[in-house]
Structure 1
Amino acid sequence: MGEPSKEEYKIQCFDAETQQLLKTALKDPGAVDLEKVANVIVDHSLQDSVFSKEAGRMCYAIIQVNNMPMMALVNPVYDCLFRLAQPDSLSKEEEVDCLVLQLHRVGEQLEKMNGQRMDELFVLIRDGFLLPAGLSSLAQLLLLEIIEFRAAGWKTTPAAHKYYYSEVSD
């Protein structure tokens, strides 16, 4: 079946009215109450960690409309990221991967919108990295990589790219 196309999202788990709301938000965010959309996405993500990856894709798509971040989504996206940065989530590689992937996608934009919350989030990430009780080696590596990514101005330096990705391409 492969990766869903840009317009296809896994929203079948919602009732028909909510599916329509999400579809409209993805096509024309200005036509819906984005706070309501964000709350639906966040609530479902917190109940179903598997859906959180899909939620991140959807929020990213909505934020990218007109290349303008949507203020209504900033705090709900932060809320999801904070949830993924809690110790119980950091002990699961899939959730660490989701956290890091979303920060790669929208971290810089989120920081511009609310730098204080990003600082708070990275305190959790740093603490999670430094207190690795139950963290796998891959989770530690992903957390270290995102810490360095932010420290480098949301860019991957050539040295960091070589360190983190050389084994992948070999």
Structure 2
Amino acid sequence: GTKDASARVLKRKLSGRAKRKAGADPSSVDLEKVANIIVDQSLKDCVFSKEAGRICYTIIQAESKQVGQSIFRRSLLNRLQQEYKDREELRARSPQAWICYVTFICNIFDYLRVNNMPMMALVNPVYECLFRLAQPDSLKKEEEVDCLVLQLHRIGEQLEKMNSQPMDELFSLLRDGFLLEEGLSSLSQLLLLEIIEFRAADWKMTDAAQKYYYSEVTD
């Protein structure tokens, strides 16, 4: 009846819209605006920030097929740099947006490649974000410790390959925090110990560690 008719009309409209989009010139898309929308959404939504790297990688791959085009990549990196400069204000204004930003920049580092290598331009900003999460005031916040450990699981090994000295310094801070810092929750202590052991085992999780840490977390 009416429902079926409405569904058919909606389907026709969507189909027409898809055809018009398919026929449009890809170069007419405002890629700077797209980059800003992706960053804005990533700062609001931590689930999206974990997937955004893949989306950006796909757009950059498509863009690179148009000779001399790097509008999206340039706009994305400019925006990341701008947010990076204001990171303390971002953290003070919205701890959630700060965690989303760290997740996003680490995700971009994980996905974006130049000559099959991570982007050197992102190494220092990523390290600085991780160092910020390793400061005493951050270690007292479970969300920030959780974010730090997740990022190190994801990109720690490739980040260390790009520049190992800051990783040694970062883990020195984490060990000090674990041993000396008062006011850490038991979950934060567990997460820190787990990541310290994970790196000590060459960025691999041993079966014994998996059983110990993840049975502790679920208990």
TM-score range, shorter chain: 0.7 to 0.9
**Unpaired segments of 5 or more residues in structure 1?**
1-7, 15-21
Conserved? CA contact 2:42–2:101, under 8 Å:
no
State the TM-score, normalizing by the size of structure 2.
0.62
Which of 56, 59, 70 lines up with 2:102 in the alignment?
A: 56
1:35-54 to 2 correspondences below 5 Å: 36-46=78-88, 47-48=90-91, 49-54=95-100
User: Percent identity among equivalent residues?
Assistant: 59
| Equivalent residues in 2 for 1:17-96, closer than 5 Å | 26=56, 27-28=59-60, 31-32=73-74, 36-46=78-88, 47-48=90-91, 49-63=95-109, 64-66=111-113, 68-96=117-145
The structure with the larger Rg is 2
Of residues 183, 188, 200, the one that matches 1:134 is 183
Matched-pair contact (CA < 8 Å) for 2:42–2:100 = no
Other structure's SS at 1:56 match: helix
Are the equivalent residues in 2 in contact too, given 1:85–1:124 (CA < 8 A)?
A: yes
User: Normalising by structure 1, what TM-score?
Assistant: 0.78
Superposition deviation, residue 50 in structure 1? 1.4
Structure 1 position 57, deviation (Å) = 3.3
RMSD: 2.9
Flag structure 2 segments of 5+ consecutive residues without an equivalent. 1-36, 44-51, 62-69
Separation of aligned partners in 1, 2:132 and 2:139: 10
The Cα offsets for residues 69-108 of structure 1, whole Å up to 9 and x where unpaired, read as 1111110010000011000110111111111111111111
More helix by share: 2
- Work out whether residues 52 and 98 of structure 1, in 8 Å CA contact, stay in contact via their aligned partners in 2: no
Q: In structure 2, do the counterparts of structure 1 residues 10 and 62 end up closer, same or farther at CA, with 3 Å as the change threshold?
A: closer
Q: Is the 8 A contact 1:84 1:96 kept in 2?
A: yes
- Secondary structure, counterpart of 1:28 in structure 2: helix
